[in-house]
Amino acid sequence: MEMTGAQIVMKSLKDEGVDVIFGYPGGAVIDFYDELTRTDIKHILVRHEQGAVHAADGFARVTGDVGVCMVTSGPGATNAVTGIATAYMDSIPMVIITGQVPTSLIGNDAFQEVDIVGITRPCTKHNYLVKDVKKLAYIIKEAFHIARTGRPGPVLIDIPKDITNSRTEYEQPGEVSLRSYNPNYKPNMKQISKIASLIKNAKKPLIFSGGGIILSDCSKELTELARKTNIPVTSSLMGLGGFPGTDDLWLGMLGMHGTYCANMAISECDLMLALGVRFDDRVTGKVDAFAKNATIVHVDIDPTSIHKNVPVQVPIVGDCKITLSVLNELLDQEKPEIIKPERKEWLGQVSEWKTGTPLAYSQSDVIKPQYVVEKLYELTKGEAIITTEVGQNQMWAAQFYKFATPNQWVTSGGLGTMGFGFPAAIGAQMAFPDKIVVDVAGDGSIQMNIQEMATAVQYGLPVKIVILNNRFLGMVRQWQELFYKRNYSSTNMEHAPDFVKLAEAYGAAGFRATKPSEVEEVLKKGLATPGPVIMDFVVEREECVYPMVPAGAPITNMLLV
């Protein structure tokens, strides 16, 4: 059958199982938009292309499917770059379709031309400029394949306008086969038996789990392993929810704003099982002092992650899910007391750290941001999907909301993108219309993509925004307080909109709490109000996130409350 490029794109998206895309039209993609109305694919019209990409990203993070977005050439494409880089850093499967000027004009500085393939080369897993309509269907199939396999990531397809509206005989593309791309899922079995024997002999073992656990969908296997062997678990920011935050073996997050317990345990452990992590500097602190006493086992699908920042003794390239299933089976062949020793001393020590120096804050007659997050946890029974912006709000959400399940925690870890949380919440809500989706925000970050209120209202997406409003760019202010003698250079955000009125201006609801006694009531009202809601919590201005490890210091150098 003869089809236009635009029709091929729609057909291919359907074949990949896509039923929602996030985007913004323009001249170079107008044919796609025309064709879109003749499909049953839902399109969410955002208010800024960055919002489209973050929304697709949020959708991908909560579903595990590929998120899809579509933007026009030139400014549309460049507006998308921050979103693409965000997804790339966190290994989120995504396909971005950009329009491009007609082939004959490429390279001529044509109207709305930009070399988006060149611009996004370092922040996509792969990208394409389509030059032949005959190859379009196969390229799309390949793009989805690359986005979702191995270490997932965003893949961009740039389609010139003439390709979009030229016609070709459509042929269903065959299986993707790339001689240059074959991710290795199967771990080396010998190495796995090595882990088993290390576990049996370790006195102070620890599991450090990361975003890879969520991406490879092996939270169950991880939980089984930890409980079966009595090994305590900590995780990176991206790994939250991979292991139940309510479990006795859970130590809390690790790193710069990690718990005292987790950071001490890392420094003392004699065996570290690092699963799907990449040893970011926010986690390791000073590398030379990191886990000095430990034999490190590192499992990762991406060989470049291994030995990149930290030397490891047992490297395993492979899928975490497969690795953990095999390991669990191997361990099951042992006597129960061997797999699950008492580990009295170690667990005792760990629990002493945990109860002795818990996450803490002191109440006062001003609202404490931590208190808001704690209340939010209570009132949502720990079941909400929480997205965050970036800064103190993100860290408090990570510390005080206990994530029981994976894909419930949506945050920009690798890039730390302010403005991520709200559009990501829109994407997550699109995926799960019936779940409670809350964006925990700072007053600074929320202003970066606040225009997406209109999107939430237009599509009736009942996203709740909890602003921890300290009238500062709080996290930067915290650094200025601690390391720059309180020289608050350009972090004062006193001039801000009235967020309640702003919500109302967009046709949403807004509530404000200024006293601790109002927190619960406002949260209850906000969560119970249908449609999108902004809840503005006027919090302690100069509250800091603790513990804090100064950048580059050993992670045991914690500043505590």
Ligand X SMILES: Cc1ncc(C[n+]2csc(CCOP(=O)(O)OP(=O)(O)O)c2C)c(N)n1
Q: Which chain residues interact with ligand X by CB under 6 A?
A: 389-393, 416-419, 442-445, 468, 470, 472-476
Site for another protein in 25-44 (CB under 8 A): none
Q: Residue 125 touches which of another protein, ligand X, none (CB < 5 to 8 A by kind)?
A: another protein
Binding piece for another protein, criterion CB under 8 A, among 254-262, 300-308, 349-357, 530-538:
300-308
- Listed in sequence order, the residues at least 6 apart from 184 whose beta carbon sits closer than 8 Å to its beta carbon are 301, 303, 317, 318
What radius of gyration do the chain's Cα atoms show?
24
| Beta carbon nearer to ligand X, 239 or 444 | 444
Binding piece for another protein, criterion CB under 8 A, among 10-18, 35-43, 303-311, 372-380:
303-311
Q: Residue 179 touches which of another protein, ligand X, none (CB < 5 to 8 A by kind)?
A: another protein
Kindly provide the residue ranges of all beta strands, DSSP E only, lying in 5-92, ordered along the sequence.
Answer: 20-23, 42-45, 67-71
Name the strands in the sheet holding 437-442, side by side, starting at the edge strand that comes first in the sequence. 409-410, 385-388, 437-442, 464-469, 533-538, 509-513
Catalytic residue among 89, 395, 448, 475: 475
**How far does CA 32 lie from the centroid of its chain?**
29
Coil vs helix vs strand at 546: coil
Using an 8 Å Cβ cutoff, are 514 and 447 in contact?
A: no
Q: Residue 444 touches which of ligand X, another protein, none (CB < 5 to 8 A by kind)?
A: ligand X
Q: How far is the CB of 179 from another protein (least distance, A)?
A: 6
Q: How far is the CB of 397 from ligand X (least distance, A)?
A: 10
Residue 535 among the catalytic residues: no
**Which helix (H) or strand (E) covers residue 510, if one does?**
strand 509-513
Q: How far is the CB of 119 from another protein (least distance, A)?
A: 11
Q: How far is the CB of 355 from ligand X (least distance, A)?
A: 28
Residue 3's nearest CA partner among 94, 95, 133 is: 133
| Beta carbon nearer to ligand X, 86 or 429 | 86
- In angstroms, the CA 292 to CA 311 distance is 11
Which DSSP string do the residues of 301-324 spell out, in sequence order? S-GGGTTSSS--SEEEES-HHHHH
Q: How far is the CB of 180 from another protein (least distance, A)?
A: 4
Which tokens go with 494? 């006193």
- In angstroms, the CA 391 to CA 128 distance is 34
Could you say which of 227, 308, 340, 402 contacts another protein (CB under 8 A)?
308
- In angstroms, the CA 55 to CA 27 distance is 22
Which tokens go with 316? 């395993």
Q: How many of the other CB atoms lie within 10 Å of CB of 456? A: 28
| Beta carbon nearer to another protein, 150 or 419 | 150
| Beta carbon nearer to another protein, 64 or 303 | 303
Q: Residue 118 touches which of ligand X, another protein, none (CB < 5 to 8 A by kind)?
A: another protein
Which tokens go with 132? 């032949």
Q: Residue 348 touches which of another protein, ligand X, none (CB < 5 to 8 A by kind)?
A: none
Using an 8 Å Cβ cutoff, are 100 and 116 in contact?
A: yes
Show the binding pattern over residues 170-189: x = contacts another protein (CB under 8 A), - = does not.
Answer: --------xxxx--------
Catalytic residue among 35, 49, 540, 543: 49
**Which helix (H) or strand (E) covers residue 96, if one does?**
strand 94-100
Catalytic residue among 111, 186, 378, 515: 111
DSSP state of 550: P
Q: How far is the CB of 272 from ligand X (least distance, A)?
A: 29
Q: Residue 174 touches which of another protein, ligand X, none (CB < 5 to 8 A by kind)?
A: none
Q: How many of the other CB atoms lie within 10 Å of CB of 241? A: 23
Residue 370 among the catalytic residues: no
User: By CB under 8 A, is residue 488 in contact with another protein?
Assistant: no
| Beta carbon nearer to another protein, 312 or 539 | 312
Q: How far is the CB of 16 from ligand X (least distance, A)?
A: 31
Q: Residue 515 touches which of another protein, ligand X, none (CB < 5 to 8 A by kind)?
A: none
Helix, strand, coil distribution of the chain in percent, nearest 5: 40, 20, 40
Coil vs helix vs strand at 25: coil
Single-letter residue type at 67: G
Which tokens go with 135? 């190859």
Q: Residue 470 touches which of ligand X, another protein, none (CB < 5 to 8 A by kind)?
A: ligand X
Q: How many of the other CB atoms lie within 10 Å of CB of 277? A: 27
Q: How far is the CB of 136 from ligand X (least distance, A)?
A: 34
Q: Residue 7 touches which of another protein, ligand X, none (CB < 5 to 8 A by kind)?
A: none
User: By CB under 8 A, is residue 302 in contact with another protein?
Assistant: yes
Site for another protein in 105-164 (CB under 8 A): 117-118, 121-122, 125-126, 129, 146
Q: How far is the CB of 86 from another protein (least distance, A)?
A: 17
Side-chain-side CA neighbours of 279 within 13 Å: the count stands at 25
Residue 475 among the catalytic residues: yes
- In angstroms, the CA 300 to CA 96 distance is 26
Q: How far is the CB of 475 from ligand X (least distance, A)?
A: 4
| Beta carbon nearer to ligand X, 272 or 503 | 503
- In angstroms, the CA 347 to CA 226 distance is 13
Q: Residue 86 touches which of another protein, ligand X, none (CB < 5 to 8 A by kind)?
A: none
| Beta carbon nearer to another protein, 127 or 392 | 127
| Beta carbon nearer to another protein, 63 or 149 | 149
User: By CB under 8 A, is residue 530 in contact with another protein?
Assistant: no
Catalytic residue among 161, 321, 368, 375: 161
By beta carbon distance, the residue nearest ligand X is 442
**Which helix (H) or strand (E) covers residue 535, if one does?**
strand 533-538
Torsion angles phi and psi, residue 327, rounded to 5: -60, -45
The reply to whether omega before 547 is within 30° of 0 (cis) is yes
Catalytic positions are 49, 111-112, 161, 475
- Binding residues for another protein, per CB under 8 A? 117-118, 121-122, 125-126, 129, 146, 178-181, 302-304, 307-308
